[in-house]
């Protein structure tokens, strides 16, 4: 084998190794939970609001002003881009008792404005009319 035949093989091996390294690095960077703002894993990702309806079910709801999401019962986790400031609104035909968790400061007002900068937890309590 002469040097000319060896050179392409060596170059190919180096290129393949470099490509594999770049692919591995790229996949690791993507899987590393970089702050892309939205992570919809079951824990809610880096920025989310876990919304819980307490008390009367199916007659009160919680929605937010950034899309048409509405929770009528139970618990749900809403992923958000970090830094967004949604306004949550308690509605329905039940009596809204008040907010708990990260919206506790809003008391019995039917709205609560939050800055989503981490995993937040909000409880909306309703009673039958």
Q: How confident is the model over 68-92, as pLDDT tens digits?
A: 999 999 999 999 999 999 999 999 9
Residues whose CB is less than 8 angstroms from the CB of residue 36 and which lie 6 or more positions away in sequence, other chains included: none
At 46 the pLDDT is: 87
* pLDDT tens sequence across 111-126: 999 999 999 999 999 9
- Domain boundaries of the chain, sorted by first residue: 1-32, 48-127
Q: What are the DSSP E strand ranges found in 1-129? A: 48-55, 60-64, 70-71, 75-79, 87-92, 95-101, 111-113, 119-127
Average pLDDT of the residues in 38-55: 73
At 129 the pLDDT is: 81
Give the distance, in angstroms, between the CA of residue 43 and the centroid of all CA atoms in the same chain: 8
What is the model's pTM?
A: 0.65
CATH 2.60.40 fits domain 48-127: yes
Residue 18's φ and ψ, nearest 5 degrees, are -60, -45
Between CA 95 and CA 57 the distance in angstroms is 11
Element (H, E) at 17: helix 3-31
Please, are residues 75 and 42 in contact by the beta-carbon 8 Å criterion?
no
Q: With 60 as the cut, is the pLDDT of residue 67 above it?
A: yes
Query: What are 84's two structure tokens?
Result: 């967004």
């Amino acid at each position: 084998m002469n040097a000319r035949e060896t050179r392409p093989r060596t170059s190919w091996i180096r290129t393949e190794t470099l490509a594999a390294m770049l692919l591995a690095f790229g996949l690791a960077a993507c899987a590393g939970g970089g702050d892309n703002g939205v992570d919809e894993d079951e824990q809610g990702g880096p920025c989310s609001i876990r919304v819980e309806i307490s008390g009367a079910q199916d007659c009160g709801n919680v929605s937010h002003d950034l899309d048409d999401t509405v929770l009528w019962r139970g618990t749900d986790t809403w992923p958000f881009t970090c830094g967004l400031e949604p306004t949550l609104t308690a509605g329905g035909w039940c009596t809204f008792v008040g907010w708990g968790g990260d919206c506790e400061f809003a008391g019995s007002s039917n709205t609560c404005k939050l800055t989503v900068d981490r995993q937040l937890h909000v409880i909306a309590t309703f009673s039958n009319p």
